Structure 1
Amino acid sequence: MANLLITGGAGFIGGNFVHYWAENHPDDALIVLDSLTYAGNRETIAGVVQAELVVGDIRDTALVEKLLRERGIATLVHFAAESHVDRSISGSDPFIETNVLGTNSLLKAARAVWLDEGSGKPHRFHHISTDEVYGSLGPDDPPFSEATPYQPNSPYSASKAASDHLVRAYHQTFGLEVTTSNCSNNYGPYQYPEKLIPLFLLNALHGKPLPIYGDGMNVRDWLHVRDHCRAIEACLTNGTAGETYNIGGGAELANMAVIDRICAEVDRAFAEDESLASRFPDAPASHGRSSAELKTFVPDRKGHDRRYAIDDSKARTELGYRAERDFDEGIRETLRWYLENEAWWRAVSAR
């Protein structure tokens, strides 16, 4: 039996990880530290018996030290972050405070308890980061590898780059046993409906515009969140302290292709289930029309990176990780989850 501290465990990726770890490691105790901002929700981890929610701020170093010390925690999985690029463009302060200062606070607490007090007993600090720290690729550039220089282009990605450097520095300077994973775009259950896939799914259900930045040809690699959880598990069990691992989904697609698949899946769902027309009467699909008619082009986002792509060969070789979910299957599962969990997304949207 082990005790894990999971920061941001009531959010999207962290919440899915709580569910995944509880299912696959039922004897472990999960202490979830989350400040329950707009994107963190108690309901996301409700019913997970092994999970104890502690409402608190990762910048509260004393609280983190207390949890690590009193619960005998030797594994910290750090998800907590401000992550929406549009919000970082509107105001960068929360991103610096949470992503940089918050990560520094966690590292200080881990060093104090695990190294200064614990005399270097085995431990692991795993930091979840993003491929956005590498900047933007041209159409013919090779995918990002762990050796790709950092070139963040938004306040969000700059704050995550800073946190990555802090994690590395604590390993190099103090010997803290850390690993970092830089993932591509996640999608799946429990994602707050400000990100592309849940936003467009719900807009299509309500007959609202599908706002497409620029020409819609910005390219991303898409990673199902359950595959990401498997990769984090592999980092914790097989990863080498001090190393970084790129985690991809093997689905490099232009935004327009993703949007077209969302529209097609919504239309398919309405055709197969007549009850959806009464539940969502404003959807074009409820009247036999295509959801694609809602597509609307809007001015491009400032500093919008053109292309991301992941070379995950290191994770494949050293961790034994390989994405399992096909994107079409994953989108279909995601739509089905949102249709079956209307109470969850209505509650979080109302907040």
Structure 2
Amino acid sequence: MMKFLVTGGGGFIGANFVRLALTEGWGTVLNLDKVTYACHPATLAMLEQLPNYQFVRGDVGDRPLVQDLLQSFQPDAVIHFAAESHVDRSINSPQDFIQTNVVGTANLLEEVKTYWQQLPPGAQERFRFIHISTDEVYGSLGPEDPPFREDTPYAPNSPYAASKAASDHLVRAYHHTYGLPTLTTNCSNNYGPYQFPEKLIPLMICQALAGQPLPIYGDGQNVRDWLYVEDHCRALYTVWQKGQVGQTYNIGGNCEKPNLEVVQTLCDLLQTLLPRPHLNYRSLITFVSDRPGHDRRYAIDATKIQRELGWQPRETFSSGLEKTVQWYLAHQDWVEAARTADYSAWLVTHYGSVLTHRP
């Protein structure tokens, strides 16, 4: 059975990958996670119930710790999710993003390189380092521009995107300089179960369940390509199985939608699944001042991974969104546990105090 060292496996995408890996028999997992605000205790508790799972609390930038874990666990692959990932937070605290996404990745790569170089030839041949990145490294698209391809020039516009671009370049350099067998994936906006409610879809679900305003930046016409998280995780497994070392694969959901349409669709779904007397969820939509440097449009061309590796998303936006909403409705204890004092303070910082009060 394959051994995966997963960094950031307590976060949204990482936790979904770990869950699928263990329930579908992809291999055993050692999860290294720093346990920051976005790592929900109930998510970690869920993972602890699964077989063939180990958890270590720690930082990917802690080289002695990483060295020890690599030597003791002897992974066949490192799946690198660990990152600060929210643009809004990067605008307020860019140094946190540089430290985790750039310095942390650099330290991790150095230890993985040393571990890989010491492996016997067969194990060296099998080993892979999978680096999970974002479409935001490519910058912003105009309405008629073609979607991002793997050869689209980098043009990051936020501290978050810049920190991920830097980490992508480090991964590429370790392959070309040292021969480390790396693969990089750049994904579009993920949504699904276990996502901390600072990103658009879970934020709207949590606000709506509390009967509170649904904040939308600017005019709501910023366009994103939406990818159901389990589809993303299956794509990563496919990249590990079939991807060509040194290559980059873009992973998208073939689903471009403006933010306002996403929120309106979500409101209509909640109106069906959880109708409430005298409440039209759409009436909670509240436009707020746009954030600085807000990219207008992202779109992914996933032709390469579809053509070369045979991956396709299983979910449509409609089916994925319904699964997502059903999960949050069935796990309202998880939602309530996320709505801490720190979380409420974050809402005030980014959207204004009006959003923490019922309209």
TM-score band, normalised by the shorter chain?
over 0.9
**Separation in structure 1 between the aligned mates of residue 130 and residue 313 of structure 2, nearest angstrom:** 20
Q: How many residues align?
A: 336
Give how far 1:293 is off.
0.6
Structure 1 equivalent of residue 318 of structure 2: 328
Unpaired runs of 5+ residues, structure 2, are 343-359
Matched, 1:6 2:6: yes
Q: Is the 8 A contact 1:114 1:121 kept in 2?
A: no
Q: Is the 8 A contact 1:115 1:121 kept in 2?
A: no
Q: Is the 8 A contact 1:29 1:51 kept in 2?
A: yes
Structure 1 equivalent of residue 182 of structure 2: 178
Q: Is the 8 A contact 1:114 1:123 kept in 2?
A: yes
Matching residue's letter, 2:196: Y
Q: Greater CA deviation, 59-68 or 89-98? A: 59-68
Q: Greater CA deviation, 311-320 or 108-117? A: 108-117
**Separation in structure 1 between the aligned mates of residue 301 and residue 230 of structure 2, nearest angstrom:** 19
Structure 1 equivalent of residue 162 of structure 2: 158
**Separation in structure 1 between the aligned mates of residue 189 and residue 339 of structure 2, nearest angstrom:** 21
Give how far 1:324 is off.
1.2
Structure 2 equivalent of residue 86 of structure 1: 88
Matching residue's letter, 1:213: Y
Matching residue's letter, 2:317: F
Matching residue's letter, 2:8: G
**Separation in structure 2 between the aligned mates of residue 42 and residue 51 of structure 1, nearest angstrom:** 16
Q: Greater CA deviation, 151-160 or 121-130? A: 121-130
**Separation in structure 2 between the aligned mates of residue 48 and residue 39 of structure 1, nearest angstrom:** 21
Structure 2 equivalent of residue 282 of structure 1: none
Give how far 1:3 is off.
1.2
Structure 2 equivalent of residue 280 of structure 1: none
Q: Greater CA deviation, 320-329 or 8-17? A: 320-329
Matching residue's letter, 2:75: I
Q: Which residues in structure 2 correspond to 1:57-96 (within 5 Å)? A: 57-96=59-98
Give how far 1:42 is off.
4.0
Q: Is the 8 A contact 1:74 1:114 kept in 2?
A: no
Q: Which residue, 176, 196, 211 being the options, matches 2:215?
A: 211
Q: Is the 8 A contact 1:2 1:29 kept in 2?
A: yes
**RMSD, aligned α-carbons:** 1.2
Q: Is the 8 A contact 1:139 1:307 kept in 2?
A: yes
- Report SS of the residue matched to 2:35: coil
TM-score, with length taken from structure 2? 0.91
CA shift digits 1:298-340 (9 cap, x unpaired): 1111000000001000000111111110101111111110011
Matching residue's letter, 2:24: N
**Separation in structure 1 between the aligned mates of residue 320 and residue 143 of structure 2, nearest angstrom:** 25
Q: Which residue, 50, 60, 65 being the options, matches 2:52?
A: 50
Q: Which residues in structure 2 correspond to 1:305-344 (within 5 Å)? A: 305-344=295-334
Q: Is the 8 A contact 1:68 1:74 kept in 2?
A: no
Matched, 1:189 2:193: yes
Q: Is the 8 A contact 1:6 1:33 kept in 2?
A: yes
Matching residue's letter, 1:9: G
CA shift digits 1:104-153 (9 cap, x unpaired): 11100111111146564531000000000000000000000001000000
**Separation in structure 1 between the aligned mates of residue 131 and residue 37 of structure 2, nearest angstrom:** 22
Question: 1:42 and 1:68, CA in 2 relative to 1: closer, same or farther beyond 3 A?
Answer: farther
Q: Which residue, 144, 148, 171 being the options, matches 1:144?
A: 148
CA shift digits 1:175-212 (9 cap, x unpaired): 00000000000000000000000000111111111111
Give how far 1:43 is off.
2.4
Identity rate of aligned residues, in percent?
51
Matched, 1:22 2:26: no
TM-score, with length taken from structure 1? 0.93
**Separation in structure 2 between the aligned mates of residue 309 and residue 32 of structure 1, nearest angstrom:** 31
Matched, 1:346 2:336: yes
**Separation in structure 2 between the aligned mates of residue 48 and residue 345 of structure 1, nearest angstrom:** 22
Unpaired runs of 5+ residues, structure 1, are 272-285
**Separation in structure 1 between the aligned mates of residue 282 and residue 65 of structure 2, nearest angstrom:** 49
**Separation in structure 1 between the aligned mates of residue 119 and residue 106 of structure 2, nearest angstrom:** 18
